[in-house]
Structure 1
Amino acid sequence: MLDPHRLRVFRSVVASGSVQAAADNLGLTSSAVSQHLSALQRETGLTLFHRAGRGIVPTEAALVLDARTDDAMSRWDQLDQVVADLRDGRSGRLSIGYFASAGAVWMPSLVQRLRKEFPDLVLDLVLTEVEQHGPAPDIDLVIDPPDHPLPGGYRRTELTEDPFVAIVPRGHHLAERGSVALAELRGETWVSNDYPRSAGHRLVVAACSAAGFRPRFTVQAQDHHTAIGFVGAGIGVSVLPGLAARSLPATVVRLTLEAPAPVRHLAAVVRDLGAPHPAAERAVALLTDLIHHPSARIRRAVPG
């Protein structure tokens, strides 16, 4: 079995590029780092580094080992943290993955409530819209249709539907309409507000295709806040989730999209932790309450 500490030393050498730099980062001597590398090479039977001038360079085998141990080391670090929590008397951990608009609108109030009800709970929050290499969170807020397949050991709780809306500059000729058909935006310059491979972006492009056109994106903002700024500056229009358009500057106008309009199906995918986890169950219940009672969410977010 590979020694996790030796793997950490090895990964530090690969990341920092030298034995001395790894020693400085880890608080070890360069001799100790070299001994760990030699021991790891004996354990694995692999040549992990070769000489290059006065330094060393990782071999192809070392680069593969480094990449393949990302998940394992993340899980080992997580186990280390569990032991530390138990030793220090903390009641446990809960990891929650979220997407950007949920992070802005729901997560602050949710975390506030959870910390109040579970003061010893350690919360790990991670933005999961981009590719993640670590372990999957205990609760993951997702943008997937109800029939999307779940990984083994997970269950899904539906949260809400989130229709997309259009935003246009305040002086735009459609600004006074209140609502607009997606097809009426055919000839407009569009500002993207999400990653091209994201679920939300694909929903918008598919809806436009169904309406008989493909949007002409000239600005790749890839996040809602920046896209709203571009629209406010008169660069173009954007179609974004209603959740991301809750608070808008005076420079833009929100328009309802007439049916048929793209809709995000938002859900919480919860890991079966193998034993009752009161904080996880309570997190989902609180989130449902915060979504369906927005006025209560605003009141509860105010201290006192």
Structure 2
Amino acid sequence: MLDPHRLTVFRSVVASGSVQAAADNLGLTSSAVSQHLAALQRETGLTLFQRAGRGIVPTEDALVLDAQSDEPMSQWDRLEQVVSDLRDGRSGRLSIGYFASAGSAWMPALVRRLSAEYPDLVLELRLNEVEQRGPRPDLDLAIDPPDTPVPAGLRRVDLTEDPFVAVLPRDHPLAGEDEIALADLRGETWVSNDYPSAVGHRLLVAACAAVGLRPRFTVQAQDHHTAIGFVAAGVGVSVMPGLAARGLPANVVRVDIAPPAPVRHLSAVVRRLGASTAPTERAVQLLQDLIAHPSTMPRRRVR
């Protein structure tokens, strides 16, 4: 049986690139790290590192072992956390993945209410817009069409649709309109507010292509907070999900976009086996309540 501690040492060496760096990171001596690596190689029967100049480099076998040990080590860490929670009298742990606009719009109120109802519950919040190592969170907020297949062991709860809106400087000629078309922004300087590979950006580009528009993204902001700052400075305009266009500065307004406007479909993906059922289901209920009654969210200035 593989020793989790030796695997931890091994993974540290792979991540840091040297025995000495891993020793410094783990608070061990370099000789102790070397002993753990030698023992792991004996246990596995694999050559995990090769000499390269005055240092070592992982072999292909080592890279495969490192990648494949992500989930088992994460589960082991989770088991240790469960033991710690039980020892300290805590009732459980719930991990929640969220994207940026949901983080600012929903997560503060959700966490406040969950913490009040489950004071012993340990909450782990993870931004899921960056690549994560380890298992999916117990409750993961997702941007997926309703017909997206759900992997085994998961179920999806549809939450809401999130139409895109135009974010304009208050002195823009279209700022006073109740609704505009995407084509009305032809010739404008556009500020992106998402990564080019992100679902939201792809939805926007596809909607523009459908009306014969090719946006000229002069500024690559890649997050909505920064994009709003560029709009406020008069650099250009931005089209973003309505959930992201909250808390606008006084010199920026949001204007609805006429159909066919791009729309995000937001859902909660729940692990069937994971955290305690009651807090997870309650978290989903609270999200549905926040969406149905947005006045219960923290007050922010919007147009």
Report deviation, 1:207.
0.8
Letter of the aligned partner of 1:211 in structure 2? V
Structure 2 residue aligned with 1:175: 175
Q: Indicate whether 1:4 and 2:1 are aligned.
A: no
Aligned in 2, Cα 1:261/1:55: closer, same or farther, shift over 3 Å? Answer: closer
Distance, in Å, in 2 between the alignment partners of 1:241 and 1:123 is 27
Residue pairs, 1:73-222, within 5 angstroms: 73-222=73-222
* Partners of 1:224 and 1:240 within 8 A in 2: yes
* Partners of 2:19 and 2:34 within 8 A in 1: yes
Structure 2 residue aligned with 1:71: 71
* Partners of 2:106 and 2:290 within 8 A in 1: yes
Q: Which digits, 9 at most, give the CA deviation of each residue in 1:250-272, with x for residues without a partner?
A: 22221111122111111111111
Aligned in 2, Cα 1:170/1:101: closer, same or farther, shift over 3 Å? Answer: same
Helix, strand or coil for the counterpart of 1:177? coil
Report deviation, 1:273.
2.2
Report deviation, 1:64.
3.3
Distance, in Å, in 1 between the alignment partners of 2:53 and 2:67 is 25
TM-score by length of 1: 0.92
Residues 279-288 or 62-71, more deviating: 62-71
Structure 1 residue aligned with 2:255: 255
Q: Which digits, 9 at most, give the CA deviation of each residue in 1:204-239, with x for residues without a partner?
A: 111111111221111111100001111112221110
Report deviation, 1:29.
2.8
Q: Indicate whether 1:32 and 2:35 are aligned.
A: no
Letter of the aligned partner of 1:153 in structure 2? G
Q: Indicate whether 1:279 and 2:299 are aligned.
A: no
CA RMSD of aligned residues (A): 1.9
How many residues are aligned here? 300
Helix, strand or coil for the counterpart of 1:206? helix
Structure 2 residue aligned with 1:295: 295
Residues 2-11 or 56-65, more deviating: 56-65
Distance, in Å, in 2 between the alignment partners of 1:211 and 1:8 is 53
* Partners of 1:169 and 1:237 within 8 A in 2: yes
Structure 2 residue aligned with 1:22: 22
Residues 272-281 or 33-42, more deviating: 272-281
Report deviation, 1:119.
0.6
Aligned in 2, Cα 1:42/1:275: closer, same or farther, shift over 3 Å? Answer: closer
TM-score by length of 2: 0.93
Identity of aligned residues (%): 76
Helix, strand or coil for the counterpart of 2:161? strand
Report deviation, 1:275.
8.8
Letter of the aligned partner of 1:76 in structure 2? W
Distance, in Å, in 2 between the alignment partners of 1:218 and 1:118 is 47
Helix, strand or coil for the counterpart of 1:268? strand
* Partners of 2:94 and 2:276 within 8 A in 1: no
Letter of the aligned partner of 1:194 in structure 2? D
Letter of the aligned partner of 1:285 in structure 2? Q
Aligned in 2, Cα 1:88/1:275: closer, same or farther, shift over 3 Å? Answer: closer
Distance, in Å, in 2 between the alignment partners of 1:241 and 1:270 is 23
Letter of the aligned partner of 2:185 in structure 1? L
Helix, strand or coil for the counterpart of 1:93? strand
- Structure 2 stretches lacking a partner, 5+ long: none
Letter of the aligned partner of 2:56 in structure 1? I
* Partners of 1:178 and 1:254 within 8 A in 2: no
Helix, strand or coil for the counterpart of 1:244? coil
Report deviation, 1:111.
0.2
* Partners of 2:179 and 2:257 within 8 A in 1: yes
Report deviation, 1:151.
1.1
